[in-house]
Amino acid sequence: MNPSQSPKKYKTRLFLGEGNFSFTAAFLKKHEAKEGLAQFITPTVFESRKELWDKHAKVLHASMPILAKKKNQPCQKNILYNVDARKLHEHPNLKDKRFQRIHFNCPHDGSNTMKSSDLPLMLKNFFQSAKLMQHNGDKIHMALPCEHIKHKREFREGYIYGIFLASANAGYKLISKRKFGSNRYPGYVHTETNTAKPHALSISDELREYVFEKTALSYKDIYKLTPPHLGLVRNKKSKKQAQLICLPKMDTCSDSSDGENSDDSEDDLSLTDTTYLPSVSSSPISMPLTPYFSGLRKIYNNSSSPAKSPSKP
Ligand SMILES: C[S@@+](CC[C@H](N)C(=O)[O-])C[C@H]1O[C@@H](n2cnc3c(N)ncnc32)[C@H](O)[C@@H]1O
């Protein structure tokens, strides 16, 4: 049975870049009392089936039986391999479907993030593709490292991921932030992109799940409604400073701290219609639209005006 044949009970969910399916397994286990939930979940990986087993056999031996459990059969049947998050709208099995929730935990393309990384471009293309599969009010859940040290966090958000630019340019606004990891999802095992390393990284203790809601708003409106945090970074050699456009400052929701709360609200399972009502005043705003970094500037040249160097502190 697929969601179109059964009474609509839960939101349709697409899990991207699952790596070892341990998140899918943990999500199903956590909500095992929710009958029929499995058929609303489509778990996917970027790799082929063979590549996946070559890399992650150990964890897969633990997670796959959970997806294959009798009552979770539909979830196992929904598994898709070779799914590129940048081209969801072109995928023959996905392109005509609406996913009310898309989960992409710790997205990474394996590129060297300190050199010429393709990661911000990948995230940009992912949000642009996702917006073609979702309606206003639908959401993207994305777990990302959230360093305690301020300048490291700013560097990750603004430079390594370019996450505010990627989401806001596609009309997505950050609405909440929760703790993420194996406390909240027992059995979840974080993996790296290029290795079969099955251990959680040290940063995974500091993962946060960011929830973005699709809106009909422009980048400018989102910037105004949920202003990004602006950070600064200085090149050690040239001493030049650059501006980092980071996610808006937001407290971590307290309902996810112990992983025991498995009600609908934390994971947002029940099917309730969300009506999105944009409320933007038309007063003029002044803001930097362009990131300082030339790599990011190239990616976002549509939404930009020449970048101003930030004044020295
Ligand atoms: C750092 S790992 C995280 C894996 C898993 N989601 C987790 O939370 O542990 C990044 C994952 O993104 C996947 N990936 C890389 N490029 C992708 C793309 N274009 N579309 C979808 N997934 C991609 C990789 O195959 C890898 O499994």
Domains and CATH numbers, the chain: 13-228+249-276 (3.40.50.150)
pLDDT in tens, 246-275: 999 998 986 543 333 334 567 777 665 433
Which pLDDT score is estimated for 3?
A: 52
Q: Which of 52, 108, 133, 199 to mutate to test the pocket of ligand 1 (most atoms within 8 A of CB)?
A: 108
pTM of structure: 0.86
Strands 241-246 and 229-234, bridge-based pairing: antiparallel
Task: Count CB-CB contacts under 10 A for residue 65.
Answer: 12
pLDDT of the residue at 293:
64
In whole angstroms, what is the distance from residue 13 CA to residue 105 CA? 13
Cβ(47) – ligand 1 distance below 6 Å: yes
- Whole-number Å distance, alpha carbon 162 to ligand 1 midpoint, is 17
CA of 193 to the centre of ligand 1 (A): 6
Pairing of strands 41-43, 139-145: unpaired
According to the model, what pLDDT value does residue 148 have?
A: 84
pLDDT of residue 199: 47
User: Two tokens at 281?
Assistant: 């005043």
- CB of 3 sitting under 6 A from ligand 1: no
Q: Name residues of the chain where pLDDT drops below 70.
A: 1-8, 113-116, 194-205, 254-265, 270-294, 301-313
Query: Helices marked H in 41-109 — which ranges?
Result: 49-68, 73-77
Structure tokens at 275: 């009506």
pLDDT the model gives residue 159: 87
Give the three-class secondary structure for 246.
Answer: strand
Residue 94: the pLDDT is 97
Q: What burial letters (b/e) apply to 72-88, b meaning 16+ CB within 10 Å?
A: bebbbebbbeebbbbeb
Q: How far is residue 255's CA from residue 252's CA, in Å, rounded to a whole number? A: 9
Q: Closest residue (by CA) to atom 27 of ligand 1?
A: 19
Closest residue by Cα to residue 166 from 142, 149, 147: 142
Segment 161-178, tens digit of pLDDT: 999 999 999 999 999 999
The reported pLDDT for the residue numbered 179 is 92
Phi, psi (degrees; rounded to nearest 5) at 265: -70, -40
Q: What is the pLDDT of residue 288?
A: 46
